Structure 1
Amino acid sequence: MSALDPETREWLEKTGFSVQDEALWQAALTHGSMGEKNDYERLEFLGDRVLGLSIAHWLYGESEAPEGKLAQRLNAIVSREMCATVARGIDLSEHMRISKQARADGGKDSDNILGDVMEALLGAQYLDNGFKAARTLIHVLWRPALESGAGESKHPKSALQEWAAGNRRKPPEYEVVERSGPDHAAKFTVKVSVHKVGEATATAGSKGEAEKAAAKEFMEKFG
């Protein structure tokens, strides 16, 4: 594998990474389309865990929120889309090593590829400099996401679905328990229940709105 490009090394260090083992960073920036022995995939696997633990640690220390809400925020902040957003913010695409064909196919601006390479760089930072250095850099790069309230507001049904999964419960079940009024002004009462947790009901002018209100009521009671 060729040596790390001097401009790329300068960019990495300017961004906040600390480069010791150049081969590690070269691999982190190399897409599989290059056909080289070492690409970003193994480092991405590691970086994903480093990111998750760093953000979980930050959320735990900064918030008194219950586990379900912490999980909801964590999922939003470490999502592939958020990783790609951070990658674009540091101009990562300009330094990725990707084949002409993959580039022509849109790989240079792919959320999946940008997100994976971003995580691979975090894996390299961890291996080259240790967890504390990786966590410190994550706090810098992800600060806008952390301070934006990402994951705090979510569609109530999505939030309840994630809450149930995070608490190892069966998915929520919705049931229309009453329909009243004429067709042009119908009222729907919906009950949502989560097995071995409880239930909540709400009424609205459409089935969808009633389900949304019931999910919100459930989260306020049990979330």
Structure 2
Amino acid sequence: MAVGSTDPIGHPFRSPGLLRQALTHRSAGAPHYERLEFLGDALVNLLVAEALFDRWPKVDEGALTRARAELVRESSLASIARDLELGDRLVLGPGEMKSGGHRRDSILADVVEAIVAAIYLDAGFDACRARVLPWFEGAMARMPPPHKVGKDAKTRLQEWLQGRRKPLPVYALLSESGEEHAKTFRVSCRLAEPEVETEGDGGSRRAAEQRAAEAALALLEG
């Protein structure tokens, strides 16, 4: 789809160059989306924080923080990009195009943030809020009640063990594979008491550790 004067979700850009920049990866030359992404990251966090603050007036800071993190994480933003079919509109260099950059979560998430910034610069904060918040409404509606918004798996595993005076888990990197821009990490999670060892894969070491911790919790709580 060619870049025109309208963004992927219907915003009529007065400055079409902003949209073009927001959809251009650095591999395709300048101007690309990275500066917009920087601004868009802050805007997305603010917009989602504001929406959660209004939605849950009696919820404490910790639960609000965890809910926001869930909504703005890379995979959540990439899902929004796919809903908006942004992958088909990305402008990529030959190498990124060949390696499937238009499907990669990291790039798709960055582009969502860049487009948020482009809308803000083109039309102001109120127009940006009105256009962007509906992208998150479905995910917000599916979130559990605030008192059940969970801590991450590593934190829950640590608290489970500490509550029973057991040694803390030890995480170890088992392997990493793939090209530099699309690595997969495999990590083990070893417990001494009870004796348990699980493994997890992820696009980052932290994500792999979370999955290994989830597997350990499933054994302990199962």
Question: Structure 2: how far apart are the matches of 1:49 and 1:98?
Answer: 24
Q: Which runs of 5+ in 2 are unaligned?
A: 167-192, 195-215
Aligned to 1:27: 21
SS at match of 1:50: helix
* Structure 1 stretches of 4+ moved >3 Å: 150-161, 175-178, 207-213
Q: Does 1:8 pair with 2:3?
A: yes
Instruction: Classify 1:157/1:87 alpha carbon distance in 2 versus 1 (closer, same or farther; 3 Å).
Output: closer
TM-score (norm 2): 0.67
Deviation of 1:154 after TM superposition, in Å, equals 3.5
- Any conservation in 1 of the 2:3–2:20 contact (CA below 8 Å)? no
Instruction: Classify 1:108/1:208 alpha carbon distance in 2 versus 1 (closer, same or farther; 3 Å).
Output: closer
TM-score (norm 1): 0.67
Deviation of 1:58 after TM superposition, in Å, equals 0.4
- Any conservation in 2 of the 1:174–1:211 contact (CA below 8 Å)? no
- Any conservation in 1 of the 2:23–2:90 contact (CA below 8 Å)? yes
Q: Which runs of 5+ in 1 are unaligned?
A: 162-170, 179-186, 189-206, 214-223
Aligned to 2:30: 37
Aligned to 2:43: 50
Deviation of 1:24 after TM superposition, in Å, equals 1.5
Aligned to 1:177: 165
Deviation of 1:100 after TM superposition, in Å, equals 2.4
* 1:89 partner amino acid: D
* 1:9 partner amino acid: G
Question: Structure 2: how far apart are the matches of 1:11 and 1:107?
Answer: 23
Identity of aligned residues (%): 26
Question: Structure 2: how far apart are the matches of 1:127 and 1:156?
Answer: 35
- Any conservation in 1 of the 2:66–2:151 contact (CA below 8 Å)? no
Q: Does 1:59 pair with 2:52?
A: yes
Question: Structure 1: how far apart are the matches of 2:60 and 2:68?
Answer: 12
Deviation of 1:71 after TM superposition, in Å, equals 0.3
Aligned-residue Cα RMSD (Å) equals: 3.1
SS at match of 2:162: strand
**Aligned with residue 117 of structure 2, among 117, 123, 133:** 123
SS at match of 2:165: strand
Aligned to 1:95: 89
Q: Does 1:68 pair with 2:56?
A: no
Instruction: Classify 1:128/1:156 alpha carbon distance in 2 versus 1 (closer, same or farther; 3 Å).
Output: closer
- Any conservation in 2 of the 1:156–1:212 contact (CA below 8 Å)? no
Between 151-160 and 62-71, the greater mean CA deviation after superposition: 151-160
Deviation per residue, 1:11-53 (Å, 9 max, x gap)? 51x613230112211111100111x221000000101111110
Higher relative contact order (CA 8 A, sep 6+): 1
Question: Structure 2: how far apart are the matches of 1:209 and 1:101?
Answer: 41
SS at match of 1:8: coil
**Count of residue pairs the alignment pairs up:** 171
Instruction: State the structure with more CA Rg.
Output: 1
- Any conservation in 2 of the 1:18–1:128 contact (CA below 8 Å)? no
